Amino acid sequence: MLNTTPIPELYVSPESAAKLKVEAGRLVSHDLTHRQVCDLELLMNGGFAPLKGFLGEADYDSVVEHMRLSDGALWPIPVTLDVSEEFAARVEPGQDIALRDAEGVILAIMSVTDKWVPNKKREAEKVFGADDLAHPAVNYLHHTAGKVYLGGPVTGLQQPVHYDFKGRRDTPNELRAYFRKMGWRKVVAFQTRNPLHRAHQELTFRAAKEAEANLLIHPVVGMTKPGDVDHFTRVRCYEAVLDKYPPATTHMSLLNLAMRMAGPREAVWHGIIRKNHGCTHFIVGRDHAGPGKNSQGKDFYGPYDAQEMFKQYEAETGIEMVPFKQMVYVQERAQYFPADEVEQGMTVLDISGTELRRRLREGLEIPDWFSFPEVVTELRRTSPPRSRQGFTVFFTGLSGSGKSTIANALMVKLMEMGGRPVTLLDGDVVRKHLSSELGFSKEHRDINIKRIGYVASEITKNGGIAICAPIAPYTATRRAVREMIEQYGAFVEVHVATSVEECERRDRKGLYKLAREGKIKEFTGISDPYEAPESPEVRVETVSVTPDDCAHQVMLKLESLGLFG
């Protein structure tokens, strides 16, 4: 039965908030990351009830090991405030800190009770099932999150500011009040991070009918999987299909959740969050919140692991599972059926997510039986065919390997073709204009490469071609750049695989000689490692091949990827 009693929030009254904001001027301030803002919003508005703040060490250990808080309450995902070692050194338990958004607006005050260095390997293995960097949340844990965790209760002063889709964002209490006002007795929630096509509409419609419930379409608009369709496009797609549902039976609300893609544990977490929003039923999909393939090329989780774990805790969460049925289109019947109800001999039509992306990329037809024309129009606006999108060619290799020469040859070939503006972000030029204050330590080199990646992602987003030619010796940094760029267009990694012996033999700038003499510290290939890419899109050999031929190899690859019309 629907529980419409208001849920406790962590906000203080507006008068207290105004007073605390003034006092907070004297506190140490932490600027929250995007993920932390998402977490804080759901902590403050009751979406993460029963949590009263970021987990302390005892609760964190208990959640990682047993999916429970130290008082025994079910909670499957660690919600932690990760900070840098420098920031942690300024804070001690017993101290209050101000939590601010990226613009410096104060959102909450946190009373720090705990400070510790977590065992991230253990967290990855227990929460995500493996310490495998192919998992986006494990990669985040090791390469983005701070090394130290702070725990303690939060006092909410104000909600994070959202300038988009204000009318579509509801707190748990606002949703509960809406259900109460509408007289809804049962509500089935549908979690999604993808646009809705006809199969989803059919699935949600059937799920609501089976549960004799109203439907809440509750898409995640905080952080999803890198490479997902951006939430602006997705919300426009959802709005385009809302009128396909019977009037007054369905409500759509946006959830500012930072997903972890933790499969079975995440499914239970999503259930608890929906229960807090007043729902009675929750649709759990096949491979719910799965991140895709691990580094061995196998799925991280089995297709029904999430449903099995959800079932195990169903009574405790107090929200009922509606298993997601795979809906397929039966040509002879001209309608959708659950895959397990299709009669033998019938023609089943289906388009996978990969196939849909291919059709959008290549400008091919997307049939009406698969999606709604309004949704396809929105997707085509955001994802024009590849031949009209921007892209980045990212050269990596040792100093003196020939990267700049090949990159220049490629730039000229692309400019000769015309059609898109071309920008060359060469290592030395970038050092002069973007990174003149940086040295050559690992940390500074990483910052330099991420700056190049950021500029390339902006060029790509705006339909241009970026050619980058830094050394970029570290796998993790190259991956971060790839993720930055692939949101907007293709990322083509070119490994200029010239050996260190050959680079040293060429040594036009005399750098290897200085490095051998110890006059240049941390020199890639001599005193600092170069992590060669395992599977770049292109690998070129420069010893017996001219730069022109190498550039031609890259051009052929770009053509095969459909990047030219």
Give me 414's structure tokens: 């692309």
For tokens 């309608």, the residue is 335
Is the Cβ–Cβ distance between 267 and 180 less than 8 Å? Answer: no
- Strand runs labelled E in 157-314: 187-192, 214-219, 250-252, 281-284
Alpha helices in 115-258 (DSSP H): 120-128, 136-143, 172-182, 198-210, 231-241
Q: 3-state SS of 499-519?
A: CHHHHHHHCCCCHHHHHHCCC
By C-alpha distance, which of 51, 42, 134, 40 is closest to 82?
A: 40
CA–CA distances in Å: residue 163 to residues 166, 167, 168, 169: 7, 10, 11, 11
Secondary structure tally for the chain: helices H, strands E: 20, 20
* List of residues 6+ apart from 203 with CB closer than 8 A: 283, 324, 325, 327
- The DSSP code for 144 is T
Task: Say how far apart CA 394 and CA 537 lie, in whole Å.
Answer: 10
What is the chain's alpha carbon radius of gyration, rounded to the nearest angstrom? 26
Three-state DSSP class for 111? strand
By C-alpha distance, which of 154, 191, 142 is closest to 27?
A: 154
Active site residues: 192-194
Phi then psi for 491, rounded to 5 degrees?
-120, 120
Counted residue by residue, the chain has a size of 565
Is the Cβ–Cβ distance between 512 and 411 less than 8 Å? Answer: no
Beta-bridge mates of residue 392: 466, 491
By C-alpha distance, which of 266, 274, 244, 348 is closest to 46?
A: 274
C-alpha torsion 293→297→303→308, nearest 10: -80
Neighbouring C-beta atoms of residue 26, cutoff 10 Å: 8
DSSP string, 363-383: T----TTTS-HHHHHHHHHHS
Task: Say how far apart CA 143 and CA 137 lie, in whole Å.
Answer: 10
In single-letter form, the type of residue at position 169 comes to R
Give me 103's structure tokens: 């613009």
Task: Say how far apart CA 16 and CA 157 lie, in whole Å.
Answer: 8
